[in-house]
Structure 1
Amino acid sequence: MHRTQHQQEYNLSRDMSLPIIRVHFLNKSRAFRVLWLLDQLKLDYEIVPYRRDAGFRAPEELKKHHPLGRSPLLELEDRQTGKKKILAESGYIFQYVLKHFDKTKSLDNEDIDKSEEIQYYLHYVEGSLQPPLLIELLLSIVKNASVPFPFSYFSRKVAEKIGEKYSAGELKSQLNFIEGQIAKNDGYLVGGKLSAADILMSFPLDSAFNRQFADPKQYPAIEKWLKNLKTFESYKVSKSKAEANGEEF
């Protein structure tokens, strides 16, 4: 069915009212989730790609856009004035996009309590979930480091003790919490449907399984949830774009 001239003009007007959106995308970072968020909302955007150096550091070029030189960054340029705004930190980027671009609340929720739950997860992911995962990652690097004996023995023992005393147990508590939330919300984190919380939370949980910090068989709800998320067309579209810009899955 052909769109009427009125519909075409309306859509053009609606699109032109939005800023130009650019994602400053670094490979092997958390930037993929921002692509997925924007694709799920069917927003047009540009990708500005960057590659990590041999030392796994982000290039200095990113610091031209934000002093910390990290990714993701979301750049918004006003179409009339050319004024630019740079947003940093994944949780804040998600919060901003939901507020300003998700007018139908397709990734938010009309229910105020459920909307607040989504906001909670946008903070929870970095405040509670990521720290034990980061420590487990660092400990795994220490355990597998090329260190001569007997130093390798002592470094592994120290790493194992830190994991036993803190990060492994803390991660288990976090995963048990998330497992229960998904199980009671019909396979999603909030309200039985896809939300921004699911998209943002997918990265650390997928990483936990892929890096063998946790056994997926012990968390069947999370495992099923992750598999389901990867069936969304927006995920596949974003994955294709990310791979074209240096990401590996």
Structure 2
Amino acid sequence: MTSIPQHNYWGYTTPPGTPTVYSLTNSGSIRVLWALEELVEGSMLESYNLKSFERSKTTHAAPDAMKEGFRLGKSPILTVSPANAPDQPPTSFVEGRLVLQFIADHYSKGVWDPQTPQDRARDIFFQEFAGTTVSTLTSLTLTMDVIPEAAPWLLKPLLNLIFVPLKSVFKGKLVEPFEFLEDALSDEKPWFGGSKLGLADFCMIFPLDTCVARKYFDPAKYPKLGRWHRTVHELPAYQRAAKKMGEYNNIKA
């Protein structure tokens, strides 16, 4: 069996240097780009390097060039070498939630740390809820949506007969999670991280952006959740992140 290098482990006593993000258009790397832009804006991080990649126009897959950062080539990927040894082979960090945790641990200076033990438990819960319940149902609904779209025109009518009802089923399963997220927000806790922006909010934005763009989510039915989404989109750091991605939710920068 071929051995592979250790990933997602910072094995140095010295701090990490300038990170590099491998970002794919229309992907979950929006979470990492937004987080890094927040740190740059707050002067906690001087800069970061960005390697942008476009999806295939036919298969929507990532190019093989992304495997330079990590062998599976799935976005987002973050690579970093020690600050005192920038020529050292970089360590790769993958899986969005884990990348965000590494960024928080090594660059954020505690700015996203929850203010109370209750908020800490809330933040961890909604990180997981975003990455499992919401993302899974969103991905299943999206799959039912895009298969007919990508099919040759002669097959579209048949595939629509099969997949449109399935899309409706999975879209309906998003209602309860949306209601749950709506009830979790309040004037006292307007963020999924609690009283202030936290890692859970970075985790939540990608599936919610997808649901809004695909009209799986109606902000009028969930005013607090809709307000959270609008607030994020009004943040300069988020806007810069979306622009740097190049194309996001079929909107080109």
TM-score (norm 1): 0.81
Unaligned 5+ segments in structure 2 are 1-13
**Residues 4-55 of structure 1 deviation map (CA, whole Å, 9 limit, x = unaligned):** xxxxxxxxxxxx9541211111112111221110121222211112222233
> Residue 78 of structure 2: which of 74, 77, 80 is its match?
74
User: How far 1:178 moved relative to its partner?
Assistant: 0.9
Aligned-residue Cα RMSD (Å) equals 2.6
Shift of 1:80: 2.4
**Percentage of matched positions with identical amino acids:** 21
Secondary structure of the structure 2 residue equivalent to 1:227: helix
Aligned length: 230
Matched, 1:159 2:170: no
SS of residue in 2 equivalent to 1:193: coil
Q: Is the 8 A contact 2:55 2:63 kept in 1?
A: yes
State the match for 2:114 in structure 1: 109
For 1:93, the equivalent position in structure 2 comes to 99
Stretches of structure 1 lacking an aligned partner (at least 5 in a row): 1-15
Greater gyration radius: 1
| CA–CA distance in structure 1, aligned partners of residues 25 and 235 of structure 2 | 22
- The DSSP-based 3-state class of the residue aligned with 1:223 is helix
- Equivalences for 1:105-144 in 2 at 5 Å? 105-144=110-149
1:194 and 1:157 mapped to 2: Cα distance? 43
Q: What's 1:207 paired with?
A: 210
| Contact 1:118 1:195 (C-alpha < 8 Å) held by counterparts | yes
Assess if the C-alpha contact under 8 Å between 2:17 and 2:81 holds in 1.
Answer: yes
CA deviation vs aligned residue, 1:99-137 (integer Å, no higher than 9, x gap): 22222x222213233123222222222211111111111
Counterpart in the other structure of 2:5: none
* Whole-Å separation in 2 of the counterparts to 1:157 and 1:185: 46
Which of 7, 25, 28 is 1:27 aligned to? 25
- Say if 1:133 and 1:208, in contact at 8 Å, map to a contact too: yes
SS at match of 1:131: helix
Equivalent position amino acid for 1:29 in 2 = S
What SS does the corresponding residue of 2:141 show, helix, strand or coil? helix
Q: Residue type matched to 2:63 in 1?
A: P
> Do the aligned partners of residues 34 and 225 (structure 1) sit closer, same or farther apart at CA in structure 2, a change above 3 Å counting?
same
Letter in 2 for 1:40: E
> In structure 1, how many angstroms separate the alpha carbons of the residues matched to 2:168 and 2:215?
15
Aligned partner of residue 172 in structure 2, secondary structure: helix
1:110, 1:221 → 2: CA distance?
A: 21
Show CA shifts across 1:132-168 (max 9, x none). 11111111224544454xx755533432443454x12
| C-alpha distance in 1 between matches for 2:187 and 2:64 | 45
Asked whether 1:64 is paired with 2:44, we answer no
Cα distance change on mapping 1:248 and 1:119 into 2, 3 Å: farther
The TM-score, its normalising length taken from structure 2, stands at: 0.80
Distance 1:243 1:64, change over 3 A: closer
Residues 79 and 201 from structure 1, CA distance in 2 versus in 1: closer, same or farther, beyond 3 angstroms?
same
